[in-house]
Amino acid sequence: MSATTHATNHGDALWFIDSLAYVHIDGAKTGDAFALVEMLGRQGDMPPLHVHARDDETFYVLDGELKLHAGSEEITLTAGQAALAPRAVPHTYRVVSATARWLVINSPAGFEHFLRAASEPAANDQLPPPDRRLDPAQLAQTAAEQGIELLGPPGTLPSVHHG
């Protein structure tokens, strides 16, 4: 790693499931120690229940409110608050406020590869259309290739999963 720092801006906007995402720092810049992603979602945005085999995932809310479901815990996060979803713990989140903006830090890096593979370039710096179609089987396959197992469709909570 270089001793210099590099300012990052939004870079390439990605439509990831129902969110707008920006990879600010990827593993190539950190010796695969971590990756930093910024996400924007609208009320009700909730990815499938999933579990990371290889990385811990930290959520830090910049604006709005998220409800994180990790294992048996339910944590409400508002601006300035953070929570950890450790590897091997099933988790998901739901955007509670009209919109929310948050940072995701994955350690070690690797999540950004899934994010890029499962996303499409955003047409603009706006949230994807709410009626955008996704292929759940393709999403599950892409996730599995990156060590992430999808455990249920959006709306499934860890305490409900019996697997």
Residue type, 157: L
At residue 138's C-alpha, the angle toward residues 32 and 92, to 5°, is 60
CATH of the domain at 19: 2.60.120.10
Q: What is the CA radius of gyration of the chain?
A: 15
**What is the overall mean pLDDT for the chain?**
91
% of the chain surpassing 90 pLDDT: 79
Residue 26 lies in a domain: yes
pLDDT score of 4 more than 70: no
Residue 70 lies in a domain: yes
Residue 38 lies in a domain: yes
Residue 99 lies in a domain: yes
Domain boundaries, position 47: 14-119
Q: Is the CB of residue 36 less than 8 Å from the CB of residue 59? A: no
Q: How many domains does the chain have?
A: 1
Q: Which tokens in the block code for residue 11? A: 């870079």
Residue 80 lies in a domain: yes
Residue 72 lies in a domain: yes
Average pLDDT over residues 70-96: 96
Residue 9 lies in a domain: no
Q: Is the CB of residue 67 less than 8 Å from the CB of residue 76? A: yes
CA 64/CA 38 separation, integer angstroms: 14
Residue 3 lies in a domain: no
Instruction: Give Cα 52 to chain centroid, integer Å.
Output: 11
pLDDT score of 96 more than 90: yes
Reference 69, options 100, 43, 55, 48; nearest CA is: 48
pLDDT of amino acid 162:
45
**Prior bond to 108 cis, omega within 30?**
yes
